[in-house]
Chains A and B, each alone.
Chain A
Amino acid sequence: MSVQQISVFLENRPGTLKKMTGVLAANKIDLRATSVAETKDFGIARLIVDDAMAAVNTLKENDFVASLTPVLAIEIPDEAGGLDKLLEIFADAEVNIEYMYAFPGGKLIDKALMIFRVADTKAAEARLTSKGLKSLTQEDISQI
C-alpha cells in the first residue's frame, strides 16, 4: 500500500516556506516528514502528514498549488546498514528510485521510515512484496 505525499510548488522567494508551514499549523496538520527539492528558480516541498486530504485542501484554499503523489513508506531498523539492506532489496527487485528521503520513526522506537518515489508505484510494490518487503499504509502513517 502506498501513502499519499503532498507536493507543493514553492516560488523562490524568502518567506514562501514559512507561509506554507503557517497554513498547515493553523489547520493543525501534523507533519511526519518533509523534504524540499529545488532548482535555481523554484522549489517543490514534499510532505507526509497525518491527514493528507485535509492538508491538500487547506493548501489549495490558501492559494498554493499542491498535488498528491503516491509514494512508498518503508520502515527500517534505526541502525548502521539499515538503509543499505533495504536498497539491496530494491536493487534485486529492479525498482528504480526517482527520489527518497528519511524521517525518524516517531512512536516506533528504534525505527526509521524511508519514503520512496518510484516510477510505477503499484508494480514496484508488487515486486518488493514478492521479496518479502512490506510498505506502510496511510493508516499506519496517521497512527505514528
Chain B
Amino acid sequence: MMERYYQPEIECAPYEKIREIQSEKLVNQVRHVWENVPHYRKKMEEKGVTPDDIKSVDDLHKLPFLSKADLRETYPDGLLAVPRDEVVRIHSTSGTTGKRVIAYYTQHDIDLWDDCCARAITAAGGTKEDVCQVSYGFGLFTGGAGLNGGSHKVGCMTVPISSGNTDRQIMFIKDLQATILCCTPSYAAYLGERMQELGYGPDDIPLKAGIFGAEAWSEEMRHSIEKTMGIKAFDIYGLTELSGPGVAFECSEQKGMHVNEDHFIVEIIDPETEEVLPEGSQGELVFTAVDKEAFPMIRYRTRDICRVSREKCSCGRTLIRMDKPMGRSDDMLIIRGVNVFPSEIETVLLNNGYAANYQIVVDRVNNTDTLDVQVEMTPEMFNDNLGEVENRQKKLSDDLKSMLGIKAKVSLVAPKTIARSEGKAVRVIDKRKI
C-alpha cells in the first residue's frame, strides 16, 4: 500500500524546516503567555528569564517546567491565555475539583487538533472513501471529539457512536461497512471477542484499520486484535492538557509514534534532576505546545516515561518518533482509558468515614480493566445490621463512581489486613499483564 499523508509538507519536511517552524512559533508563544498568563510570567520571572531570552528552540531549556501541580494550582482557568469569549470549547480530564484539568480551545486550537487526528487517520490508511466509527467516549473526554474532528477533516463518513452497547457497535460496523474503528485498545479487544462469539471471522468484518489509544497496550494485544478483526491496529498518543489524542500517531511501520512536532516540541528529561537528556535516552516526556492559543503548555511534564528517536522512518515521515510510554513517573493509573489518582479514592474513603488505609487492585478480566478498592472495616462503619453495612458499601461504591467516572468494586476487609509500609505506602497493585 502506498503511504498517504494528510499534510506531507509538514510530515515529510526536512528537520531544519521543522526547527524553523518550531522556533518561530515558540518565540511567539512565549511572548503570548508572558503577556496573558500571570502564572507563566511569575514562573519565568522566578527563573530570571524573559521573552527576549527566547530566540529559537535552542533556548527552550531556559524556560521553567510546568507540572500537574501548576494545573491544580491554577484551576479552573488560571492558565487560560485568551479572553473567555475567544474560547469555543472545553474538555476535561476525570478527577476531583482539585485534580481535574479544564483544557480550553479556540477555533484555531480545535482546527490544529483535528489536523493532528487527521494525520493519524490518514497514516492508518484512511481516505474520504472510508467509514470511520468513533467508539471513544464523547463528552468531556477528548477521545471521541478528537477522532471525530480528524475523521471530518479526512472526509470519512463518520459514525459518532461513542463507547458502549457492544452489539449495536457491531451492527453498525456490519450495516454501514465501517472500515476504520477508533476506541481504546481494551474495548477493541472486547469488541473482537464479541464478534467471534457472534460467529464473525476476520473476513466477515469490513474493518481494515483501528486507531487505539488512551491506555497502555502491548504488542501481544495488538497482534491478537489484528488477527481477530483482520485489521491493522495503530497506536495514538495524547493528553487532554495538550489537546487530546493526536499529539503523536503511528504510521504503517508501527515502530513508534510520530510526534506532530510542528505543534508539539518534545524533550526527554531526567525526572529527578530535570536535566534534558540526549536523543535515545529513556526519560520523562516533556511537551511544549507552541501554537495552541487558549491553553498553551510550555515544557509540560507528562510523567510518561519513554524514549524518542529521530532515526529515519521508511514511511517517509521525518517527524520524530516516540516509543509507547513505559509507565508513569507518578502514581496515576489509567483504567479503561480514564485517569485515576489513588488520592481521589482516598478522598472518597475519608468522606465516607473509612480509614485512609486502603489498597487498589487493578486487573484485566476479559480484556476490560477492573478496579477493586479494598478498605478496612472500622468500628465506626460497622453495624450489626447486614443491610446497613451493605448500604454503606454501596454508597462508597457509588461515590467512587461519581468521583472517578468509572465503576469500582468495594471490598470490605478485616482491620490490619492491608499491609502497612514504613515508607511510601503500596496503594496500588496492578495485576494487568500488558
Contact = CB atoms under 8 A, between A and B. Distances in A.
Interface in B17-76: none
A13 B414 CA distance: 10
A39 B384 contact: no
B412 A9 contact: yes
A69 B384 contact: yes
A41 interface: yes
Contact of A117 (B379, B384, B417): B384
Interface residues of A, number: 22
B411 interface: yes
A67 B412 contact: no
The 9 closest A-B pairs by CB, nearest first: A7-B384, A11-B414, A69-B384, A63-B416, A65-B382, A9-B377, A65-B377, A63-B415, A11-B413
Contacts of A63: 414-416
B393 interface: yes
B419 to A, nearest CB: 14
A57 interface: no
Interface in A51-68: 60, 63-65, 67
A3 interface: no
B382 A9 contact: yes
B370 to A, nearest CB: 15
Nearest to A8: B382
A139 interface: no
Interface in A11-40: 11, 13, 16, 37-39
Interface in B359-400: 377-379, 382-386, 389-390, 393
Contacts of A38: 386
B358 to A, nearest CB: 14
Given A11-B377, A11-B413, A37-B386, 10 more contacts: A7-B382, A9-B377, A9-B389, A9-B414, A13-B413, A41-B393, A65-B377, A65-B415, A67-B382, A98-B385
A115 interface: no
Size bracket, chain B contacts? 10 to 19
Interface in A39-86: 39, 41-42, 44, 46, 60, 63-65, 67, 69
Given A9-B382, A117-B384, A41 B411 contact: yes
Contacts of A16: 414
Nearest to B385: A98
Given A65-B378, A65-B379, A67-B379, A10 B414 contact: yes
Contacts of A7: 382-384
B393 A11 contact: no
Nearest to B417: A11
B102 to A, nearest CB: 37
A67 B417 CA distance: 19
Nearest to B386: A37
Contacts of A98: 385
Nearest to A60: B379
A22 B411 CA distance: 24
Given A7-B384, A65-B382, A44 B416 contact: no
A39 B377 contact: no
A67 B389 CA distance: 13
24 contacts: A7-B382, A9-B377, A9-B389, A9-B412, A9-B414, A10-B414, A11-B412, A11-B414, A13-B414, A16-B414, A42-B377, A42-B389, A44-B384, A63-B415, A63-B416, A64-B414, A64-B415, A65-B378, A65-B382, A65-B414, A67-B379, A67-B382, A67-B384, A98-B385
Contacts of A39: 386, 390
A11 B412 CA distance: 7
Nearest to B382: A65
Contact of B384 (A10, A46, A60): A46
B98 to A, nearest CB: 31
Nearest to B378: A65
A44 B389 contact: yes
A13 B411 CA distance: 11
A76 B327 CA distance: 67
Contacts of A37: 386
A13 B377 CA distance: 14
Given A37-B386, A67-B384, A117-B384, A42 B415 contact: no
Interface in B409-430: 411-417
Contacts of B415: 63-65
Given A65-B377, A65-B379, A42 B412 contact: yes
A21 B310 CA distance: 66
Contacts of A9: 377, 382, 389, 412, 414
A59 to B, nearest CB: 11
A38 B411 CA distance: 14
Nearest to B390: A39
A48 to B, nearest CB: 13
Which one of A11, A16, A67 has the highest number of Cβ atoms from chain B below 10 Å of its Cβ? A11
A41 B414 contact: no
Contact of A44 (B386, B393, B414): B386
Nearest to B413: A11
Interface in B333-374: none
Contacts of B389: 9, 42, 44
A75 to B, nearest CB: 23
